[in-house]
Amino acid sequence: MEAARKNGAYDMAYAKRAMLVVIILPLLVMYTEAMLTPALPTIQREFGINPNDVSWVLTIYLLVGTVSAAIFGKLGDMYGKKKMFLVALGFYTLGVVLNGFAPSFHWLLVSRGIQGLGMAIFPLAFSLVREEFPPEMVPQVQGMISAMFGVGMVIALPLGAYVTQNFGWRWTYHSAAPFAVFMFILAWRVLRESRYVNPGKLDWPGALFLVWAVVPALVAVTRAPNVGWRAEQTLVLFGVSIIGIIALYLWERRADNPLIPLDIISSRNPAIVNLGIMFAAFGISMMSQANTYIFQMKPPYGFGKTILESGLLMTPMALAMLVVAPLAGKLMPRIGAKPLAITGALTASAGLALLSQYATQLSLTQFVALITVVGAGITLMNVSFINVLVFSVPPRVMGVATGANSLFRNFGSTWGPAIAGTVMSTYYILVHIPQVPVPIKIPTEKAYEVLFGTSALVYLFLALLSLAIVEVMKGGKIHEVENEGEREITVG
């Protein structure tokens, strides 16, 4: 198979074709996932289940995806990242197709689990970008990938609401299936196999210990807002998970070919980025939940917008991300990833601090402007973090490094909604709405103060954490870790 680099020179024509694949990939995932959110009440009614049961449609996907990201990352290092990328994308495509034809709720959970196996496409895509693209092009491509997440969300939320309302929830998947098949064919035809392979045997005990460590904790977090954080089942699940984490750590220390090499993920920059991305995902999730309520609650408790209108009002934030992400990638080799990460975190923290004090007092225009600023800051920080990671580890273990990063990201994304739900269930008022037989709970100003305020503190912490990053690029030079050692290259 022809390599992307010959005698030290990169194949730019291939790099541009491959860039098309990896930057539209987030559109597929965000399209299918965000479209599901407006459809959950319809799924609940069709299968005759309760709200706690229907939440498993989201939970099972996250559970399987968190574990698969780490395992497929390791397999990508061992057998080739393109091979494993196509396997993961194949699972994702199969899951999307099957979801729309699920004859029962249990079959829907099975097909969502199959789809969850495909969450490994992102760490593998990040790895391929680092390996096959010229170093000066990597920050810009990583920036575009990050921007597409926001664009996909803005497109999918209103479109999902429209499709569910007019054609039924199954068509949210029927409409996504051709797109998924197209992406699989495009990736198969365009992408080339990675040049770095680490042959060996899969660490099956490590994989089992990882499942033991991760799954009980994620189940506990997702169920705690409903059953209680001090409930016996919650505490037991957390206890089981802690034992699993200890067992995983002890095993990986002595394994010959560990699933999660502790020396890689605990080295300075990867450790900072993994911790940072976990807290960042936590803060984003809490902010997003608060935004959703403020947009959709009736005045004077919110702006009274529909899901469609809420999605359209997030367009300025998506546009800001589209501008900020690639611009940050272009400027990063000159300015440095560390200053941009700190600037982004401080910008997000300042905006969230203002929202914590004035969220319910702002006009709609002011609120949209402020969340746009916050979104731009978060994007700036995220783009910096992923570039710090991929230039801090050698390509032969890039799959493991990005897979572990996805694992930490998913942990943060799980905790965010759970804590947000608990806060909103603590600070609320009962409101009687005409044509609704029972009063409903409306979050109070105190709830938004806690949610936005906590997120502001999270990003302030991330700004301080970023001070400890060892710079990987600055002054037109990129310092990268190679398999044979380290080198510094000048960006033209």
The pLDDT score that the predictor gives to residue 100 is 92
Q: For residues 56 and 108, what is the distance between their CA atoms, to the nearest angstrom?
A: 10
| DSSP letters for 196-215 | --------HHHHHHHHHHHH
Q: For residues 424 and 290, what is the distance between their CA atoms, to the nearest angstrom?
A: 9
With bands split at pLDDT 50, 70 and 90, how would you rate the model's confidence at 121?
Answer: very high
What's the pTM? 0.86
Give buried/exposed letters for 462-480 (b at 16+ CB in 10 A, else e): bbebbeebeebbbeeebbb
Token representation of residue 18: 């491959």
Mark residue 153 as left, alpha or beta (left: phi above 0; alpha: psi -120 to 50; beta: remaining).
Answer: alpha
- Give the range with max mean pLDDT: 39-48, 132-141, 165-174: 165-174
With bands split at pLDDT 50, 70 and 90, how would you rate the model's confidence at 372?
Answer: very high
Return the DSSP state at 433.
-
Right CATH for 9-199 from 1.10.1740.10, 1.20.1250.20, 3.40.50.1980, 3.40.50.2300: 1.20.1250.20
Q: For residues 123 and 120, what is the distance between their CA atoms, to the nearest angstrom?
A: 6
**Has residue 272 got a pLDDT over 90?**
yes
CB 418 within 8 A of CB 224: yes
With bands split at pLDDT 50, 70 and 90, how would you rate the model's confidence at 351?
Answer: very high
Average pLDDT estimate for 468-472: 93
Residue with tokens 């977090």: 221
Give residue 376's identity as a one-letter amino acid code.
Answer: A
Average pLDDT estimate for 55-74: 88
C-alpha distances (whole Å) from 163 to each of 32, 40, 42, 60, 484 are 12, 13, 12, 23, 52
Token representation of residue 180: 């998924």
Q: Name the more confident of 443 and 355.
A: 355
Helix orientation angle between 56-79 and 105-117, rounded to the nearest 10 degrees: 30
CB 88 within 8 A of CB 183: no
Q: For residues 469 and 395, what is the distance between their CA atoms, to the nearest angstrom?
A: 20
Give residue 111's identity as a one-letter amino acid code.
Answer: S
Tens of pLDDT, residues 356-369: 999 888 999 999 99
Domain span(s) for CATH 1.20.1250.20 in the chain: 9-199, 261-492
Average pLDDT estimate for 300-305: 83
The pLDDT score that the predictor gives to residue 3 is 37
Q: For residues 431 and 413, what is the distance between their CA atoms, to the nearest angstrom?
A: 30
With bands split at pLDDT 50, 70 and 90, how would you rate the model's confidence at 414?
Answer: confident
Average pLDDT estimate for 318-338: 88
Q: Name the more confident of 140 and 262.
A: 262
Helix orientation angle between 445-466 and 337-358, rounded to the nearest 10 degrees: 170
Average pLDDT estimate for 83-110: 94
Q: Of 288, 224, 221, 294, which is closest to residue 443 (Cα–Cα)?
A: 294
**Has residue 198 got a pLDDT over 90?**
no
With bands split at pLDDT 50, 70 and 90, how would you rate the model's confidence at 465?
Answer: very high
CB 119 within 8 A of CB 158: no
Average pLDDT estimate for 350-357: 95
Name 481's bridge partners. 486
The pLDDT score that the predictor gives to residue 152 is 77
Token representation of residue 192: 């080339």
**Has residue 2 got a pLDDT over 50?**
no
Residue with tokens 């998970």: 241
Q: Name the more confident of 383 and 165.
A: 383
Average pLDDT estimate for 94-101: 95
Residue with tokens 């806060």: 423
C-alpha distances (whole Å) from 335 to each of 67, 148, 367, 384, 446 are 36, 23, 31, 11, 39
The pLDDT score that the predictor gives to residue 471 is 92
The pLDDT score that the predictor gives to residue 17 is 85
The pLDDT score that the predictor gives to residue 227 is 85
CB 380 within 8 A of CB 468: no
The mean pLDDT of the chain is 86
With bands split at pLDDT 50, 70 and 90, how would you rate the model's confidence at 6?
Answer: very low
Q: For residues 289 and 309, what is the distance between their CA atoms, to the nearest angstrom?
A: 16
**Has residue 440 got a pLDDT over 50?**
yes
Contacts (Cβ under 8 Å, ≥6 apart) of 468: 268, 272
CATH of region 261-492: 1.20.1250.20
Token representation of residue 449: 């103060």
Q: For residues 75 and 416, what is the distance between their CA atoms, to the nearest angstrom?
A: 30
Q: What are phi and psi of 303, to 5 degrees?
A: -100, -5
User: Largest Cα–Cα distance in the chain?
Assistant: 73
